Chain A
Amino acid sequence: MTLDFAAILTPQYTQWMLSGAMTSLALFASAWVLAFLTASLLVAIGSAPFRPAQFTVATFVEYHRNIPMLVQIFVWYFAMPQLLPDAWTTWINAHNSEFIFALIALFLNSAAYMSEDMRSGLRSLPREQMEAGRALGLSYLQTMRDVLLPQAIRAALPPLINQSLALFKATSLAMAIGVAEMTYASRQVENETYRTFETFAIASAFYVTLSFAIMALGAWVDRRNQKAAGH
């Protein structure tokens, strides 16, 4: 087997791969931000002393934890358009519906996992924290936002970083509904050039680089936490 990277680095294919990489990154970044915000919201709702709220959040989490990511993407892409108002569907279809549905499925799934991570972070905090906040005259939401969440996030950081890695890798599943992200692009280039090894090597290098960056962040946080625990 002779390697020939030049064969796949023509302007055309380079353009495909680059745009695939950008799409992957855009999907990851936007899904991460939305997931994080949604997860925070879920934690706030779920910890309210109101049973139906807790039940709703628990159901949301269980749904996303017990169904494959790919199936969740399919549900959004194939089934949801039938259930959404026509105006919405029309709008989404006019705006790259594949990307939007993949984004929704990815961020909702990640939000479910992230909210669980944050919740166990919260649970690790002493109960008195909420009372202390309320005693100072802060409202429930203020105590949540200014006192509990920041601490919980620190405790939840290691699993959150793990979840970020899972989310980044899960963006590759968007190819199943035709989102031209990195995996999709590499398969396309491979189909045209038959340069399987070279194409997959480049795509893998992309994933490994970013994943390693996320893992390095996780290792750094672990070290810092260990130091903090030591003294």
Chain B
Amino acid sequence: MQDIIAILRDYGLLLAIGQFPEGPIGGLALTLILALSGLLLSFPLSVLIGVGRISPNPAVARLAAAFVSVVRALPLLMLIFWAYFIVPLIIGQTVSGLTTVIVALVVYETAYLAEVVRAAILALPKGQVEASRSLGLSYVQTMKDIILPQALFNAIPSILNQFISLVKNTSVAYIISVDELTYAAYQVNAQLLTKPVEVYVILAATYFIICFSLNRLVKLVERRIHTSRQAPIAAEAAA
């Protein structure tokens, strides 16, 4: 315990924010930045792919399904290696490890989030589309005004779960030496040499606290959404 406190005193800041503000931001802060940007960037893409999966146009549906299956079939590490190789080919210049990891995370997350979006849409009553189309709204208007607002609201807990999985997945950035939390801890361990137990307890505990709290938050949100759907029914019964 003493050792842990000593390590936190000497390296806590490094683990929290890396070299910042003198150098690049790193550590836990970078982990959260990676996860958040992964979620924000993959969200619009996943809505497109998720809607594409159930498109009435079979070519679009098949293409979206193929994307989802192939990405889900590959380990995140392979996607990182592919991104390392392909992104420079596309934009014509070398890119940082950070960019590589973000691209890989976004592609990976898009596939999973797209399935969340698709499931949320399919869970809505069929009558919603029929009512909207019967009023003369187009397919796109129906998606935008009727289906997605409901589906995405219902999907909030699943989306938050995806964020938790993203937080954990960012640790894989370690492999290409991006200075997020896991890599930072690895470096601290390499400097100290004799305190692996303490360092990895700190590392594991940090992830645990974050993910565990987020999990609790998801449960809370789930209950909120559940009651927001139950209340009207109760009101109707009372009426």
Contacts and interface: CB of A to CB of B under 8 A. Distances in A.
Interface residues of B, number: 35
Given A66-B212, A200-B82, A212-B69, A78 B200 contact: yes
Contact of A67 (B70, B75, B211): B211
A211 B73 contact: yes
A208 to B, nearest CB: 4
Interface stretch (B46-54, B151-159, B201-209): B201-209
A90 B119 CA distance: 50
A178 interface: no
A68 B171 contact: yes
A2 interface: no
Contacts of A204: 74, 78, 82
A176 B174 contact: yes
Given A69-B168, A207-B78, A63 B208 contact: yes
B115 to A, nearest CB: 11
B81 A200 contact: yes
Interface string A186-212: 110010000011001001100110011
A169 B76 contact: yes
A172 B89 CA distance: 25
B68 to A, nearest CB: 10
A196 B88 CA distance: 13
B40 interface: no
B74 A211 contact: yes
Interface of B: 69-70, 72-78, 81-82, 85, 89, 168-172, 174-175, 182, 186, 189, 196-197, 199-201, 203-204, 207-208, 211-212, 215
A172 B75 contact: yes
Contacts, number: 104
B105 to A, nearest CB: 13
Interface string A162-183: 0001000111110110000001
Interface of A: 1, 62-63, 65-72, 74-75, 78-79, 82-83, 165, 169-173, 175-176, 183, 186-187, 190, 196-197, 200, 203-204, 207-208, 211-212, 215
A68 B182 contact: yes
A171 B75 CA distance: 9
Contacts of B89: 1
Given A78-B196, A208-B73, A67 B78 contact: no
Nearest to B89: A1
A74 B172 CA distance: 12
Contact of B175 (A78, A82, A176, A208): A176
Contact of A208 (B70, B77, B174): B70
A207 B169 CA distance: 18
Contacts of B189: 78
Contacts of B215: 65-66
A210 B118 CA distance: 25
Given A67-B168, A72-B204, A79-B201, 5 more contacts: A70-B171, A71-B171, A78-B200, A165-B72, A204-B74
A225 B182 CA distance: 41
A31 B168 CA distance: 21
A200 B80 CA distance: 11
A176 B69 CA distance: 25
B57 to A, nearest CB: 22
